[in-house]
A = this chain, B = another copy of it.
Amino acid sequence: MVYLTRKEHFNAAHKLTNPAWSEEKNKAVFGKCANANWHGHNYEIWVTVKGKPDPDTGFVVNAHQLSKLIKSEITDKVDHKNLNVDVDFMQGLLPSTENFVIEIWKILEAKVTGCELHCIKLAETDKIFVEYYGE
């Protein structure tokens, strides 16, 4: 079993506010992330799949194909977008990095073929990142 990881990046805006809470409570819990007029990030995403190398190609997966899949399924839908407003699969969810990585997993797990999705790592800044293994 070899694990192969492909990294991609995108830029997006978001804000963190729980609509069931007052502005004061949102500010107390989310701090600067609750700024009403949005803020944003350069996100980095690492998608890791696992499998046995194919004897004909030496590949667990064709990394170029994997890059195209991540692009068509995820980054084309979130790059230069507002996660709260523009992104279908985030509607009704707080766009924390945690919730975001779980939704990305659901989409990619159904689309990866010929190998198995192992982990998605998503970095909001160079100091904060999350990882999700599907359970």
Contact = CB atoms under 8 A, between A and B. Distances in A.
A95 to B, nearest CB: 7
When all copies of this chain in the complex are counted, the total is: 6
Nearest to A38: B13
Contacts of A53: 96, 98-99, 102
A40 B13 contact: yes
A56 interface: yes
Contacts of A7: 126-128
B98 A59 contact: yes
A98 B6 contact: no
Interface string A1-35: 11111111101111010101100000001111101
Interface residues of A, number: 65
A98 B4 contact: yes
List 7 tightest A-B contacts by C-beta distance, closest first. Answer: A40-B40, A58-B96, A32-B80, A58-B94, A37-B82, A13-B38, A13-B13
Contacts of A93: 58
A113 interface: no
Interface in A81-135: 81-82, 85-86, 93-99, 101-102, 125-133, 135
A35 B94 contact: no
Given A2-B102, A53-B99, A58 B16 contact: yes
